[in-house]
Amino acid sequence: MNRPGRDDAPDRLYTITQGRSRSSPDDPFDLVTLVVAESDPVAGMQSEHAAILKLTRFPTSVAEIAAELRLPVGITKVLLSDLSAAGRVSARHPRRPAITDPDILEQVLVGLRNL
């Protein structure tokens, strides 16, 4: 960044989460947790919360939310925990894929590569 401070946002990350950087231990979110909004954004809401609710009208992964918000995943998890505690979003863990054997995946990969 040779023009520091010009293009980034003025708000620091700790102000977004009121200084919290880790979510609660029983936090249900990991990177691939699918998050679905349970309500619409309301006025006066923190803009990140509103953005998450808009974003998760359809199930969206935590990693994708973090990417869209341009926030580190840790911060995103804290925000999601807040929303989850308030009942505004719910988390859905993805179904385990039917095929988890790495050998099969490797074979598929090889096959695909040979296409």
Partner 1 sequence: MTAPTHPGDRPSLRTFVSALAVTGVLSALLVCAAVAVAPGSVRTPLAAGGAAAALLLSAAVATAAQARQTARDARRRLESVTQDVGRLLQQQARTTEEARREQQRLIDELAQQRTEFTESFTAERARLEEEGARELDRLRRENARLTDEGERARRDRAAAISATSNTAARMQALATATLADLRAMEDRHADEDVLADLLHLDHRTAQAGRLADSIAVLTGARSGRRWARPIAMESILRGAMGRIAGYRRVRVHSVSETAVAGHAAEGVMHALAELLDNAANFSPPTAEVHVYVEEVPAGIIVSVEDSGLVMGEVQLRRAERAVAGDTAELGGLTGTRLGLAVVGRLARKHGLKVSFRPSARGGTGVLMLVPQDILTSPAPAAPAVAAPRPESAASAPSPDAVDAAPAPETTAPPEEGPAGLPKRRRGRTLAAAERGRSAPDGAASRTAPGTDEGKTRAARFSSFRQAVRPAAPAAAAPSQDGPAPEPSHAPAPDDRALAPDPAQAPAPHDRAAVPPPGTAPDSRPGGHPSSGAGEHSSPAPSHPHTHTHTHPEGDTTS
Distance CA 85, CA 92 (A): 15
Q: Any residues with CB less than 8 A from the CB of 93 and at least 6 apart, and which?
A: 28, 32, 33, 34
Q: Quick one: 22 or 85, whose CB is closer to partner 1?
A: 22
Contact 35, 65 (CB under 8 A): yes
Contact code string over 40-79 relative to partner 1, x by CB under 8 A: -x-xx-xxx-xxx-xx--x-xx-xxxxxxxx-xxxx----
The candidate with the shortest Cα–Cα distance to 13, out of 62, 57, 93, 78, is 78
CB of 93 to partner 1, least distance (A): 12
**What does the alpha-carbon distance between residue 111 and residue 115 come to, in Å, rounded to a whole number?**
7
Residue 87 C-beta: closest distance to partner 1, Å:
20
Binding residues for partner 1, rule CB under 8 A, total 56
Binding site for partner 1 (CB under 8 A): 1-16, 18-19, 21-22, 31-32, 41, 43-44, 46-48, 50-52, 54-55, 58, 60-61, 63-70, 72-75, 94, 97, 102, 105, 109, 112-113, 115
